[in-house]
């Protein structure tokens, strides 16, 4: 996670929040004052993004010491301490909101993902995410999905072939699109194509697509499609998948369920930071 993108994102977040300085803290807190902060869960959740706590505070001050009380992926109960941060009191206050923003968002995604995984209660089919992520946050959000127990789909446009509806229209059909792609990519690269009906499904089979994505099909049509494909390609289902469909989809014989809601509809969890000075007389 310690990528240049993550470090830059943290720097942008801190600049956005602090800019020329925390005028409230500067007015109220002695620069020599030390303190201790505890991040505490205010609801039951799956924790994710603990390293961001370290990255944020190390960006603010080298004099910060952080002790995690859990690890990413742990189930945390309301009232449970997540980590303890010790250092300059002014730094603790300055980094509070940025730290919580990262932790609450990523833990929200992990918690949402774990709900889907628990509903499936099996290793098959795979539950995967999508590219429906906040700009700049993709690596972090997909990390949170993994922490929640699901699997990542492609990271971006550069690491997987997925021929979608607009590609098909532009190329004049599925077979033409697959043929063009196959001439350009390595023989080791799988080719996935999105289909919306049984006519397109047959075209994808005829063109020997490696993975066929059944987009926005109802459960009955998905079952018919699985029988029709009959093991000739991996089968992915996508399009507005809600948690109440997971068990039936799992029983339909599909290989992959992609769910945009893991990221785009995840609700931030409730975490708070409680800060106390080491010596009230120095504040």
Which carries the bigger pLDDT value, residue 282 or residue 119? 119
Average pLDDT over the chain, rounded to an integer: 96
Tell me the domain boundaries of the chain: 4-116+267-282, 151-258
Residue with the two structure tokens 């910060």: 64
Q: Examine the residue annotation and report whether 215 is marked as an active-site residue of this protein.
A: yes
The per-residue pLDDT for 122 is 83
Q: Is the pLDDT of residue 262 over 90?
A: yes
Q: Is the pLDDT of residue 282 over 80?
A: no
Q: Examine the residue annotation and report whether 138 is marked as an active-site residue of this protein.
A: no
Catalytic residue among 22, 72, 94, 194: 194
Helices (H) and strands (E) in the chain, counts: 11, 12
Catalytic residue among 74, 192, 215, 236: 215
CATH topology for 4-116+267-282? Aldehyde Oxidoreductase; domain 3 (3.90.1170)
Q: Which of 172, 170, 167 lies closest to 191, judged by CA?
A: 167
Helices 138-148 and 4-18: crossing angle in degrees, nearest 10, is 110
Q: Examine the residue annotation and report whether 132 is marked as an active-site residue of this protein.
A: yes
Q: Is the pLDDT of residue 281 over 80?
A: no
The per-residue pLDDT for 99 is 98
The per-residue pLDDT for 182 is 96
Catalytic residue among 164, 180, 208, 227: 164
Alpha helices in 134-254 (DSSP H): 138-148, 165-171, 174-184, 198-206, 219-229, 246-251
Q: Examine the residue annotation and report whether 94 is marked as an active-site residue of this protein.
A: no
Cα–Cα distance, 174 to 202 (Å, whole number): 10
Identify the sign of the CA torsion 150, 154, 160, 165: positive
Cα–Cα distance, 151 to 159 (Å, whole number): 15
Identify the CATH assignment for 151-258 out of 3.40.50.2000, 3.20.20.70, 3.40.50.620, 1.20.1270.10.
3.20.20.70
Q: Which residues contact 278 (CB under 8 A, 6 or more apart)?
A: 33, 34, 35, 36, 89
Catalytic residue among 36, 69, 97, 131: 97
The per-residue pLDDT for 57 is 97
Task: Give pLDDT tens digits for 200-230.
Answer: 999 999 999 999 999 999 999 999 999 999 9
- Of 1-10, 83-92, 118-127, 247-256, the one with minimum mean pLDDT is 1-10
> What is the arithmetic mean of pLDDT over 105-128?
95
Task: Give pLDDT tens digits for 31-85.
Answer: 899 999 999 999 999 999 999 999 999 999 999 999 999 999 999 999 999 999 9
Q: Which residues contact 243 (CB under 8 A, 6 or more apart)?
A: 115, 116, 119
HSE-CB of 102 using CA atoms within 13 angstroms: 28
Cα–Cα distance, 226 to 62 (Å, whole number): 57
């Amino acid at each position: 996670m310690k990528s240049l993108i993550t470090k830059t994102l943290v720097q942008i977040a801190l600049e956005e929040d602090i800019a020329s300085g925390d005028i409230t803290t500067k007015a109220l807190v002695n620069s020599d004052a030390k303190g201790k902060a505890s991040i505490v869960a205010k609801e039951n959740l799956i924790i994710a993004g603990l390293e961001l706590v370290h990255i944020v505070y190390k960006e603010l001050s080298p004099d910060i010491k952080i002790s995690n009380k859990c690890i990413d992926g742990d189930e945390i109960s309301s009232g449970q301490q997540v980590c303890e941060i010790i250092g300059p009191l002014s730094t603790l206050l300055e980094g509070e909101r940025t730290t919580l923003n990262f932790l609450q968002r990523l833990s929200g995604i992990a918690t949402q993902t774990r709900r889907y995984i628990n509903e499936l209660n099996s290793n098959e089919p795979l539950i995967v995410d999508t590219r429906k992520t906040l700009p700049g946050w993709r690596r972090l959000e997909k990390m949170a999905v993994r922490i929640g127990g699901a699997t990542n789909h492609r990271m971006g446009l550069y690491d997987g072939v997925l021929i979608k509806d607009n590609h098909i229209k532009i190329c004049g059909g599925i077979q033409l699109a697959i043929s063009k792609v196959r001439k350009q990519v390595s023989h080791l690269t799988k080719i996935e194509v999105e289909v919306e009906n049984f006519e397109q499904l047959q075209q994808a089979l005829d063109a020997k697509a490696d993975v066929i994505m059944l987009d926005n099909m109802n459960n009955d049509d998905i079952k018919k499609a699985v029988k029709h494909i009959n093991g000739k390609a991996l089968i992915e289902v996508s399009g507005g998948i809600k948690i109440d469909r997971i068990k039936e989809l799992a029983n339909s014989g599909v290989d992959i369920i992609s769910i945009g809601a893991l990221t785009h509809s995840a609700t931030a969890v409730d975490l708070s930071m409680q800060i106390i000075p080491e010596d009230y007389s120095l504040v």
